[in-house]
Structure formats: C-alpha cells, structure tokens
Amino acid sequence: MRGIRQILLAVAVLAAVLLLTLWGLRPPAPKPINAPVTEFSAGRAQAVLSRLVGEGTPHPIGSAANDSVRARVLAELERFGYKPEVQTGFACDEYGSCGTAKNVVARLEGKESGSAILLAAHYDSVPAGPGASDDGAGTATVLEIARALKSLPQPRHSVIFLIDDGEEAGLLGARVFVDQHRWAKEVRAAANLDARGTSGPSLLFETGSANEWIVRLYAKGAAHPATSSLFYAVYKQIPNDTDFTVFKASGYQGANFAYIGDVVQYHTPLDNFENASPSSLQHHGENALPMLFALANAELSNPLQKEAVFFDVFEHWTIWWPSSWTLTMAIATAVVLLLEIVWLMHKKRLTPTAYLWGLLGWLAMVIMTGALGWMLHMLVRNAGVTPVEWIAHPLPLQIAFWSLGLAVVSFLGLTFGRWATPIGLWAGVWTWWALFAVVIAWHTPAMSYLFLVPAGVAAIVGFAFAIRSSEAGAAWAAIVPMAGAAIVGFVPLLMLYDALGSHALAGIALLAALVLTPLAPICAETRRVRGLARIALPSAATLVTILAAFTAIVVPAYSAKAPERVNLEYWQDGDTGKSQWLVRPASGRLQEPIRVTATDFRRMDKGPFPWSSTPVFLTDAPSLEGLAAPTFTILESAVAGDERSYRALLRSERGAPDASILFPPDSGIESVRMEGEPVPPETERERKYLNGWSYYDCPTMPAKGVEISFTLPTGKPVEVYALDETYGLPLEGSFLLKARPLTATPSQDGDLTVVSRRVQLLP
C-alpha cells in the first residue's frame, strides 16, 4: 500500500500545483468605472478604448482613419488637463521601411528637472484589423494612467507620455521620438505596452540591461506579478520587435509588457473591441501604473548595471536574486547533492550500480519522450491537425503532449525501478538536474531557475532523508522537490503553445517529461504493488494521450473565432497589362469555396515575384483601366571611381498609400537614403526572407513621391521592380470576397491591389 499512497499523494500534489498555476494565470477582475480616482480602472479604460477604435476601422500609418484616432487621443489628453503636442518626423528601419510618423506627446512635470520617465504605446494598427488590443488597449492604458497620475502626488521625475505612430510599419514613431524630440535625452527609463493577442495575463517579458533594479521595483509594486527571466531569454531568440527595442538601443532602462492569449486573432479583423479582454486591460494597468510611479520616484542617476534571475509564483510573489549569484548557487547545490549521494552509498542504502541505473533511467525518459514527441507531432501534422501555427482548438493537442510526457516518465520509472530502486532513481534524477543547473547557470543564467530551484529544494529535503532513513522521509524527499519543479515548470509549459504555436508541440512533451522526472522514484515504489494497479498511472496517461490525439484529429482546425489567415490580391503587371488574382492561404491549401470560383487556379510554391518565398494560388483576372503603374525616375546620376551614385524619385501615379522599390541580389546597392534619411543596412533575416532582394518601402507615400539616393557598381545594367499597393480589392474582386468562408480572414496587410513595373538602370 505504500506505493499506492505515495503515487496518489504525488498525483494530488501535481494536480494542486496545476490548478494553482491556472488560477494564477488568470488576469485580475476589471475594476468598474466608479473605482477610486487614484486607481487604474479597466471600466474607464474600456470607455476610452471604445471611443478610440469602437467602430472597428483599421487605421494604418498615413491613413485618414489614423488621423481620426490621433485626434481622439489628443482630445482625451486635453480632457485630463494635459497640453499634448503632435511630433512629426521621417524615419527608416533596418528592414527598408521608411515613413512619416505623427506621434502624440504629453508631459507631467516632476519635482526635479533633468530626468524623466517614458510611458509608451502605439496607436496605429495593421491594415487588416482595427487593433483594439494591438495596441488600442495599450493606448487606453496610457490614457487612464495619465488621468490617474493627476490625482496622485507629484512625482520626483517628470513623466512623458508617448503614444506613437508607425510601430506596425517598422517602429517608426519610436525612432522619430528618440532621434528627434527635445525631451528624448531626458528619458532614463521607459515602460512600454503592447499585445500579441487579445487576452491573457499582462507579462513583464522584457527589460533593459539593468533589470535587477527594475525587477526589485516591479516585485515591490505589482499586485499580480506575471514575469520570468525565462520569458526574456526566449524572447531574445525570437525575431520579434516592439517599440521597446528602439528605447533599449537608445540606452533607456525599463520594462516591456504584453499579453499573448488568443493569438489567432492578432493582426486580423478579430482584433476588435468586442474581443478585447477587460481583464487583460486591467492587468496592463495594474502592471504599468505602479511600475511607472516607482520609476518616477526612484534614483535614476546611475542604476546598477546588474542582471537578475526572477520568476513569479502563482502571480502573487516575485522571487529574484542577482544573476551573478547563480553559478555559485548551482555549484553549491550540486556539491550538497553529491555529498548526500556519497553518504547514501557509505551507509549502503544506495549501490553504485543502482545509481548508474538511475542516471540511465533519467536519460532514457528524456530521449524517449523527445523521440515519441517528434513522432506524435509528425502524426498530427500529417493528419492535417496543424495546417497553421495556431489552430482553433489547441487544448486536445496540449493534453496529448503533456500526457505523453507523463506516460513515458511513469512507465520508465516503473521499469528502471527494477534495477535502480527508488533511491537510485532519486539520486540519478537529481544528479542530472544539478548538472543542468550548473551548465545553464554558466551559459544562460536567466533560464537557470527552472533547474536550480527544484535541485536546491531536493538538496535541502534530501539532507534529512540522507541522515535519517524512514518511509516518510523518502516520500517527502521525492514529492517536495517534485512540487518545486512543477511550480517553476508549469507556467512555461502552459504558455509555450501561445508563444510558439504548433512548432513547440514536441517541445511541450519534452519539457513536460523534464518537469515530471522527479515523479520517477515514486513510480518505482509501485513495483511492490500487485496486479493491474501497478501500471495504472502509465496506462491512464497513455490512454489520455491516445484519446486527446484522436480528438485533435477530428475537431476542425479553424472556426469563425479562430480562422485561417487568407489574403486576397489583385495584381496587374504595368509592363504587359496582364492581371491575376492571387490567394495567399497560411496553410498553403486553397479552400474549396474559393477554388470553385475559378477552374484554373494554379499553385506556385514561391509566388509570382522573384523575391516571393511563400505558396500562392493564381488565376487570370481582367485588366483594369486607371491603374497607372508606379514610376521610378532618375533625377541625377554621377560616376565616382567604380561606383555610380543616383538620385531618383519613387512615385505612385495612382495615389496609392504604399510604394516600394526592390533591387536584385547581385545589384551591389549601398548608401541608401530616403528623403535624406539613411536606411540601415538590411538584416540577414530580411535578405533570406526576400531571397536576397533588397527592399525599400514607404507606407506613407505622398502625392509628390519620395526621393531615394543610392550607389551601384558601374559596368552592368540593373533591373529593379517598382510596385505600389492599395488596401482592398477592386469591385471586380467581390466574388472572391464573398467566396472566402467565415473560417478564413485577412491578416497583416490584408487584401491588396498591387501594380508593378520593371525599370532598367543602365551603367
């Protein structure tokens, strides 16, 4: 019965930790409109959000709708007693996007002059959606905080409110502020608010370089802390940027907040007011207001440039320590565990052979889970379960991969218990955890707590177990550190799918197995149990894996609330007059309602342009009058050595809001400027994405066009592409719009009308 009692207790502990983790990940309840004036109220912020974007109109940079949103932002700040101003400037990013941004800036004066704190969000949206959460919620949060600060004591340092433009087009407004605004040099720290979804907890997922200082302030003031140095370590490996990227590059310290739930609605028409979570909005405010107030009253002259390791526990406590302590802590933990294992061997309670089997058992659990996780991932992908990164009903998939990890750990714990004994598995499991804690503490301290905290708990609890042998001591030595592993591991496990999508499924199984390996010694105890009860846990976990995987296969991948991203385009070649309809489904598969609208849709694996890299379906379209092709006119050129410098005018003859010019991979283009603003060299990621082509774009194309200067090597002609685009299809494309099912939606730039032409540059 000892094995039965221990396994039931262990499962109960894991279930309790899981429930507490799920409970902790819920954002706080929204406060009503009549909440105290000194507090953040989602009710008040929602009213502001409704006024800003409630009609559901997309408002990309440069659009008339964006002008309207900006006017509403100005009116809100004036209503709160501020004197906002509009800053206009031209900027370029490293991806070749340049444009005119119009920022809204306001200021709350502090008691001391010379230094300031920045609170930022962006008000523009992508062309495909109204941006209620990305980043209307951030803008509403900034405005509600601006209102609340008027009722709080005057801060030590001034607070600058930046509601910037053009974030979606390349962080343009943030660049304009830091490079051109007179207040930018006063800023010492910034809090930025953004979203990559429409719900979920507001996460402190990124900080400046001096994050020990920031985390200390956050831990002291946040009522519902949701953060982890692991988030920051992972985020740095993902090719995503926010305005905080620009602020950090300018030397600002601070914090970046975002929520990522319901990512399927991100950058689509479903990012609307109705889907914007008031609880997430409340959490945004409860994060940003105390963070901002703490920064505005902190010593800013010389914050210590120290990193921290940190994580929250059930969104109630933040645990942190200086990153410089981590390697010492990990080595000390490993030494204590090693001494305990040596003592167990000295007392003949653990044999070297059992210890070796315990080491092999842990390794087998990790390797087998990784292999089976990859196989299950391939199975569900080939069955059509994951045609896109985020599907409508991911819960069965997540249960399947979690259960797979549990099934492997419990089965191999039972199997290896025959040779390793429970003590051997305990020693083997925690040896590996301590080893990984040391390696990760040395290489990536921000991620080390995942292994260091449970290993440290195992070392502490194991001390009493090593000194004094008892049944209860053995059980607690296994269960307590297992609970520690679950407390730190369940949060990233639950958020991994929202963060990375279906690509992370095998990783979910592997991480679940890692977190659950401390269960193996307890599973080994069930070898003493007779009958089918011995295999109850691995059998149940295997059955759940099979049933969940089957459920994932039979449920639809898309729904009206979680549709596939499918963009439609009308493209006209300005040189030949030939026109085509283009359909760009995220899955690479053409939906049947669209397919039947034309009999000759054909698939191209890389699209019609030489820089295209994603599948597209094409069919012939009628040529339309009045769609003049863009022009790229050489205004001036001169030769200097082996280079020819050019000054050219890119112009949309049909008044499109967005126009671009693309140079082939072997052109050798350098020293590019648009409207006199230097364009940073293109990134390696951009070159790969565009098959080596160099791309220069202006999403705020004025009627007169934009001047572009550049140099090319002399001696060979270069053929470039000029193209412009307007948002939406011509009337002739209404049949495609009607054919797009409810389970499909435009995203990002949305449906487009594109006109292109080729221009020959002679040497």
Give the mean pLDDT of 71-80.
98
Name the residue type at position 490.
F
pLDDT greater than 90 at residue 758: yes
At 99 the pLDDT is 98
How many CA atoms lie within 13 Å of 343's alpha carbon, on the beta-carbon side?
15
pLDDT, tens digit (0-9, with 9 covering 90-100), for 521-532 = 999 988 777 766
Q: Which residues contact 605 (CB under 8 A, 6 or more apart)?
A: 615
- Reading the block at residue 363, the tokens are 């390794």
pTM here?
A: 0.95
pLDDT of residue 472: 66
User: What's the confidence (pLDDT) of residue 685?
Assistant: 74
DSSP state of 264: G
Rounded distance, CA 700 to CA 350, Å? Answer: 72
Q: N- to C-terminal Cα distance for the chain?
A: 88
Are the folds of 30-314 and 563-763 the same? Answer: no
pLDDT value at 179 more than 70 = yes
CA distances from 460 to 312, 318, 467, 477 (A): 21, 21, 12, 9
Q: Tell which residue, 574, 702, 612, 725, has the closest CA to residue 650.
A: 702
Q: How confident is the model at residue 474 (pLDDT cuts 50, 70, 90)?
A: confident
**pLDDT over 90 percentage in the chain:** 88
Give the β-pairing of 187-193 and 253-258: parallel
- The predicted model gives 444-456 an average pLDDT of 97
Maximum Cα–Cα distance for the chain, whole Å? 92
On average, the pLDDT of the chain sits at: 94
Kindly report, residue by residue over 323-338, the tens digit of the pLDDT: 999 999 999 999 999 9
Residue 622 reports pLDDT greater than 90: yes
User: Mean per-residue pLDDT for 562-571?
Assistant: 97
Q: What share of the chain is helix, strand, coil (3-state, %, to 5)?
A: 45, 20, 30
pLDDT of residue 762: 83
Cα(723)–Cα(207) distance, integer angstroms: 39
The token pair at 67 is 């002008």
Which two three-digit tokens encode residue 537? 């846990």
* Residues 184 and 122 sit within 8 Å (Cβ to Cβ): no
CB 147 within 8 A of CB 44: yes
- The token pair at 401 is 């991969």
Sign of torsion, CA 667 670 676 680? positive
Read off the pLDDT of residues 105-114 as tens digits, 9 standing for 90 and up.
999 999 999 8
**CATH code for the part of the protein at 563-763:** 2.60.40.10
pLDDT one-digit tens code per residue, 5-43? 889 999 999 999 999 999 999 999 999 999 999 999 999
Model confidence over 347-401: pLDDT tens digits? 999 999 999 999 999 999 999 999 999 999 999 999 999 999 999 999 999 999 9
Question: What's the pLDDT at 152?
Answer: 94
If DSSP states are collapsed to H, E and C, what string results for 488-526? HHHHHHHHHHHHHHHHHHHHHHHHHHHHHHHHHHHHHHH
Rounded CA separation 732/739 (Å): 13
86, 28 contact by CB (below 8 A): no
Closest by CA to 549, choosing from 319, 395, 325, 658, is: 395
Task: List, in order, residues 6 or more apart from 648 with CB less than 8 Å away.
Answer: 632, 633, 634, 635, 707, 708, 709, 710
Nearest CA among 240, 194, 261, 60 for reference residue 750: 60
Question: What percent of the chain is predicted at pLDDT more than 70?
Answer: 98
Could you read off the pLDDT of 242-292 as tens digits, one per residue? 999 999 999 999 999 999 999 999 999 999 999 999 999 999 999 999 999
Give the pLDDT confidence score for residue 528 in this predicted structure: 74
Q: How many CA atoms lie within 13 A of 588 on its CB side?
A: 12
Per domain, the residue ranges of the chain are 2-23+328-554, 30-314, 563-763
Residue 531: predicted pLDDT: 66
CA distance 757 to 651: 12
pLDDT at 538: 95
Q: How many helices (H) and strands (E) does the chain have?
A: 20, 23
| Inter-residue contact 747 to 715 (CB < 8 Å) | no
Pairing of strands 158-164, 116-122: parallel
In this prediction, residue 174 carries a pLDDT of 98
The residue-averaged pLDDT of 716-723 equals: 95
pLDDT for the residue 532:
66
- Measure the CA angle with vertex 38, ends 37 and 44; round to 5°: 50
Give tens-digit pLDDT for 498-547. 999 999 999 999 999 999 999 999 999 887 777 666 789 999 999 999 99
CA distance 211 to 523: 41
pLDDT in tens, 407-427: 999 999 999 999 999 999 999
- Residue 279 tokens read as 């609880």
Of the options 3.40.630.10, 3.40.50.300, 3.30.413.10, 3.30.470.10, the CATH number for the domain spanning 30-314: 3.40.630.10
